[in-house]
Chain A
């Protein structure tokens, strides 16, 4: 990743994404959109509505014009689902031994990379709420930094407990190092 330049002595500890179930949840509307026209065509083919509206009997998959329009619809639905997957996959949080790097792909050509240094972290809160969250082990991680408004949220990440423990361990290391520096100066 070209936008990421690690500092000297910095190394990546873990890179986390949202849980795959988050993408499945966002893909469900696209699956419904794709299936809706098929459902409608089946309804027209089987219902008594076609008797009163003869034009409706032409709306079958055997009709090449219907297939053309349906294909165009599916193409747009597929592009939407593929974009959603791309945004899911390119959103990533990278935890190094010095900072948390939050990479967010909002849209095409709209990418945001923010860093939160571990020495500024004051509080790390984990939140696993809900049936699916508990069952599949994903949840939110809130990282509060020194500034009152500086709060980074990692929503829907896999195994938030592991990530929180890792962060706390690194913050502890940081604190020990800074204490050594103060003692050495005395």
Chain B
């Protein structure tokens, strides 16, 4: 006799996760990705474009604009 179909049981760490913790994880992953990108970009600028005056302002602009975007993303989150 076939057994009754049981509903899918998700792990408790998924069902118990709050929206805040999900956002925290996504934000952390995003920040790590951005950090790696920034380090690689800065390496290229200073390694190959260091004789140019543009290298430092370009990296500074990247940090400032990224900072503004990060603030915009998180300012209203509680």
Tell me the A residues contacting B by CB distance below 8 Å. 1-3, 62, 64-65, 67-68, 70-72, 74-75, 78-79, 82-83, 85-86, 89-90, 103, 105, 108-109, 111
Taking A68-B23, A71-B70, A72-B30 as contacts, is the C-beta distance between A105 and B37 under 8 angstroms? Answer: no
A72 touches B73 (CB 8 A): yes
A71 touches B73 (CB 8 A): yes
A111 to B75, CA, bound (A): 39
A78 touches B66 (CB 8 A): yes
Closest to A2 in B: B47
Closest to B47 in A: A2
A68 touches B73 (CB 8 A): yes
* 20 A-B pairs whose Cβ atoms sit less than 8 Å apart in the complex: A1-B48, A64-B77, A64-B78, A68-B74, A68-B77, A70-B73, A71-B70, A72-B30, A75-B66, A75-B73, A79-B37, A82-B41, A86-B41, A86-B44, A86-B45, A86-B49, A89-B52, A108-B41, A108-B44, A111-B48
Tell me the B residues contacting A by CB distance below 8 Å. 23, 26-27, 30, 34, 37, 40-41, 44-45, 47-49, 51-52, 54, 58, 62, 65-66, 69-70, 72-78
The number of residue pairs between A and B whose CB atoms lie closer than 8 Å in the complex comes to 67
CB distance from A97 to the nearest CB of B (A): 19
CB distance from B46 to the nearest CB of A (A): 11
A64 touches B41 (CB 8 A): no
A75 touches B52 (CB 8 A): no
B51 touches A1 (CB 8 A): yes
A78 to B41, CA, bound (A): 13
Q: CB < 8 Å: which of A67, A75, A82, A89 contacts B54?
A: A89
CB distance from B18 to the nearest CB of A (A): 13
By a CB distance below 8 angstroms, the chain A residues around B73 are 67-68, 70-72, 75
Taking A85-B58, A89-B52, A89-B58 as contacts, is the C-beta distance between A67 and B44 under 8 angstroms? Answer: no
B58 touches A71 (CB 8 A): no
Taking A1-B48, A89-B49, A105-B44 as contacts, is the C-beta distance between A79 and B74 under 8 angstroms? Answer: no
